[in-house]
Every structure is written in C-alpha cells, then in structure tokens.
Amino acid sequence: MSVSTTTASSDVALIDLLDRVIGGGVVVSGDIVIGIADVDLIYLGLRLVLAPAHEVEDSVGLTRRRSK
Amino acid sequence: MLLYAVVPAEAEAPALAGVCGRELEAVRDSEVALVAEECERAPEASRPMALRYYKIVDHLSRSATALPVRFPTVVGDRDEIVQELARRAPRWRRRLDELDGLAELVLRASWPDPAAADAGQPGGSAYLRRRAAQVHATEQVADDLERRARQVCRDVRRLPAIAGVRLACLAPRTAESELRRLLDEWQQEDAGREATLAGPWPPFSFVDQQEAAAS
C-alpha cells in the first residue's frame, strides 16, 4: 500500500493545513479577535491563547465533538 | 488591519479580494513588505475564513517567498505595521532568503499499538506499563522517521499529535515525490503502518527559528 491519497487522507490534510494556519506562522504583537454571535472576544498575547483545537482539548480534557 | 504575510520588498500585493472583501496592500520597508487588508472588524477564526486566508497566502507564496502571519492577526492601523517592520525587517529579510524555494510538507504516521495485547489487564500499574510502551514506541518511530526525512528535508520539526507522529518537513517543492517514496518504504517494512503526506504549503512551521522552536 502506498502513502495515502484517499478522501480520508484529504480530510487529514485539511486538518493539518488548518492546524498550521492557526498554529504556525509569524507571531506579530497584534490582537486576535474571535467573534462569536457578533460579540468580539479580544485576546492579548496570542502565543498563549491561540492554539490548535487538539492542544486545547488535550489540556482541558474536552471531548472532540461539540454541540452548537 | 488583517495581516497575511511578509514578502520581499519588491513583491506586489496580488489583485485579489481579501478575507474582508477589500483590496490587499503591501506596506513596505526597504527590505520587506507586509501584505495586509483594511478590515472594519477582525474576521472570525473559523474554517472558511482560515481557508480564504490560506488561499491568499498560497497565491503570494507562488510568486515570491512568503512568511505567513499566524491567522487571524489584526493590528490597529498602518502605523503599527510600519513600527513592526522597523523592528523586525532585517530578521525577516534573512529568513526570506533562507527559505527561498522551500515549502512545508507535513507527514503523519501511525502503527499498531505495541501494548494492545495487554489492554485487557486491569490495574494502575498495568496501565502505566502500557503507556510507557506507547510513549517509548512513539519516540522510536519519531526518531526513525525524522532520520529518514532528513535525507530530503532541510529542516524537520515535530508537531503535536493526539496519536502517532507528526513531522513538519522543510524541503523544495520538487522533493515531495522523494519524501513519498521514503514514507512508502517505512510503511512496507511492517504490517499495520500507515503514513500520509500533506502539502506543499508555505512554510508555516519554519517562519522564524526562535518562534518555531517556542511554538
């Protein structure tokens, strides 16, 4: 079997991409604003707050499925 | 203003609408430029927005070396960008030169649980033995894969993973097929091994030596 190129692996690739988009990249000392239902939650010190979901879930013991 | 990427000073902002629907602009220093977009409010950190941001950064990286900025990063105005450029332009310029022609690939690997046969044994000490075996196996696989990956990758970083191993590889875009061949070899050496390769992408995990090591 060769290195995976299936639909499932496409999903994994998308997860990895999103993980890198919000977990990698240059950290500039700006603000990160996460809006939920038109309410802005403003975070300072983005290195401390913005992390891929699995890291946060691991650290606080959340399940991987959330209800809206 | 929403920040996208650091690019060489001579690079142009692409004629694309940004995440907020506005034109992109390049705020320049003598050495580098920061591509940004005027946004009335910060975009939400959702999957569709992150993908729109990514498409722009990917477009930028195909015409010039780009250091993507972590999404979503917003600064108050152009003056803040100018200040940031004044402070960090020489370091960014050096990193742009170092990353010229290189991209990021992410490989994932999983394998059968070495302690699966003991999974039914009750008790805390049995659990700890299973966990120790799993951690040991993970370290061994990570070391092995990193050694193999370094045959084609200029740099390798270990990424957090819930299970298995995840490595970010910095390599020329043309190295993808060679890396895939190395992973095929690893996969075929033992039953139950699985590997996936994603990318090439702009070098999100390698933008800055100090930042990457700390993140």
**Ordered DSSP codes for B147-182:** HHHTTT-SEEEEE--SSSEEEEEEEEGGGHHHHHHH
B67/chain A closest Cα distance in angstroms:
7
Name A9's Cβ contacts closer than 8 Å, sequence gap at least 6. Answer: B196, B198
Q: What are the structural domain ranges in chain B?
A: 2-98, 102-214
For residue B96, the model assigns a pLDDT of 96
- Tell me if chain B has a CB within 8 Å of the CB of A28: yes
Indicate which of B204, B205, B209, B211 best probes the interface with A, i.e. most A CBs within 10 Å of its own CB: B204
Report the pLDDT value the prediction gives residue B7, as an integer from 0 to 100. Answer: 97
Contact B204 A24 (CB under 8 A): yes
Which pLDDT score is estimated for A8?
A: 60
How far is the alpha carbon of A67 from chain B, nearest alpha carbon, in Å?
15
Query: Is residue A27 very low, low, confident or very high in pLDDT (cuts 50, 70, 90)?
Result: confident
Phi then psi for residue B49, to 5 deg, are -65, -40
Share of chain A above pLDDT 90, in %: 3
Q: Note if the bond before B200 is cis, omega within 30 degrees.
A: yes
Q: Report chain B (215 residues): mean pLDDT per 10 consecutive residues.
A: 95 91 94 94 85 94 94 88 92 95 94 75 81 88 96 95 92 92 94 92 85 44
Query: With bands split at pLDDT 50, 70 and 90, how would you rate the model's confidence at A63?
Result: very low
Q: For residue A25, what is the DSSP state? A: S
| Alpha-carbon gap, residue B190 to B183, rounded angstroms | 12
Q: Which residue has the tokens 């690079």?
A: B11
pLDDT of residue B17: 92
Residue B36 CA neighbour count, 13 Å, CB half: 26
CA distance A37 to chain B (A): 10
pLDDT score at A55? 52
Burial class (CB in 10 A: 0-12, 13-18, 19+), A9: middle
| Ramachandran bin of B199, using left for φ above 0, alpha for ψ from -120 to 50, beta for the remaining angles | left
Q: Does this model's pTM top 0.95? A: no
How many CB atoms sit inside 10 A of residue B117's CB?
A: 9
For residues A4-30, give the mean pLDDT.
Answer: 77
Cβ contacts of A3 on chain B, cutoff 8 Å: 180, 183-184, 187, 195-197
Check whether A68 has a pLDDT greater than 70.
no
Q: Which CATH number fits domain B102-214: 3.30.70, 2.60.420, 3.40.50, 3.40.1710?
A: 3.30.70
Q: Do A23 and B215 touch (CB under 8 A)?
A: yes
Kindly write down the DSSP assignment for every residue of B28-84, as one continuous string. E-SSEEEEEE--SSPPP--HHHHHHHHHHHHHHHHHS--EEBPSS-B-SSHHHHHHH
> What are the structure tokens assigned to B212, written together?
């990457």
Task: Summarize pLDDT for A6-16 with one digit per residue, the tens.
Answer: 556 677 788 88
Say which of A1, A12, A29 has its CB closest to residue B187: A1
Cβ-defined contact of B183 to A3 (cutoff 8 Å): yes
Q: What is the pLDDT of residue B42?
A: 80
- Shortest distance, CA A6 to any CA of chain B (angstroms): 9
Residues A21-49 have a mean pLDDT of 58
Instruction: Look at residue A61 and tell me whether its pLDDT is greater than 50.
Output: no
Q: What is the mean pLDDT of residues A34-57?
A: 46
